[in-house]
Amino acid sequence: MRPFDQYKRFFAFGCSFTRYHWPTWADIIGHVTPEYYNYAQSGAGNLFISNSIVEANLRHNFTKNDLIMVMWSSICREDRYRNGFWSTPGNIYSDGVFEPKEFVENWADNRFYLIRDLAIIEQSHAYLKSLPCDFDMLKMVEFEDTSGGKDSPEYNESNPDVLNLYHTTTEKVKPSIHKVIYNNEWESLEIAGWGNKGQTADYHPTTLNYLKYLESFYTCNDKMTGFARYYNKALLKCSSLDDTIGFWNRPMQTRL
């Protein structure tokens, strides 16, 4: 990979750890590239992410002057396309969307999610490798983290045989931000939900922690560092998600 500012276009893919209410790792990189496209969506699983990669290439025709970066999400997610838009509610054990409860009890299976997603990642890597663009892959959490939540029917099952079969796949993806920055223990930001209701803490990384994650693998220039520090300072002044409105204009992309 070349230095980030030497690419003409930058494309980012992922979930809310890539596109959120304040700048993420992707926005830090996008700040120094002439053209920046963020195809991430909150709650997205790896099926949505892989579909987004293909769709973006068909729309934009990736070239040798493009950088494509993916942050894969956690595996226990169900993405659906229905009534003209993608529904990406997040973790199936806690999203409250897949009802009745019997559906989750009968069909949610962490071993299936691991098999499904590692195959998706392997195929996505081969697809991007066939194109003239440069690319790299990150992840939100380690693929070994298949707990999915305390209500999972296979809580903490490791599935070592699946991980062994796909070991060359997992080696193609950099260690997770969960492991590198947080030592597998999330830190929370004291920020209330919309209308000062609901959540009392947010577990998405701060902009400065996203910068630290990037610096673990890449060279970040002064412009990127200054951008991250500026928005991190603004973020720490927010007491609820309402305060983030207008402080950050997230790029929107055309989607099927």
Q: Which domains does the chain have, with CATH numbers?
A: 4-244 (3.40.50)
Nearest Cα to 117, choosing from 16, 38, 40, 49? Answer: 49
Q: Look at residue 103 in the predicted model and tell me its pLDDT.
A: 81
Q: Provide the residue count of the chain.
A: 256
Cα distance between residue 30 and residue 163, in whole Å: 33
pLDDT band at 155 (very low <50, low <70, confident <90, very high): very low
Q: Which residues, other chains included, contact 250 with Cβ-Cβ below 8 Å and sequence gap of 6+?
A: 19, 20, 21, 27, 38
Tell me the three state secondary structure of residue 127. Answer: helix
Surface-to-core class of residue 129, CB atoms within 10 Å of its CB (0-12 exposed, 13-18 middle, 19+ buried): exposed
pLDDT tens-digit series, residues 85-106: 999 999 988 877 776 678 888 8
Residues 225/210, Cβ–Cβ less than 8 Å: no
51-82 tens-digit pLDDT: 999 999 999 999 999 999 999 999 999 999 99
Q: How far apart (Å, rounded) are the C-alpha atoms in residues 32 and 255?
A: 24
* Side-chain half-sphere exposure of 14, counting CA atoms within 13 A: 27
pLDDT in tens, 204-246: 999 999 999 999 999 999 999 999 999 999 999 999 999 998 8
- Tokens found for residue 103: 């559906």
Give the neighbor-by-neighbor strand order of the sheet with 134-139.
35-38, 9-13, 66-72, 134-139
pTM here is: 0.93
> Does residue 25 carry a pLDDT above 90?
yes
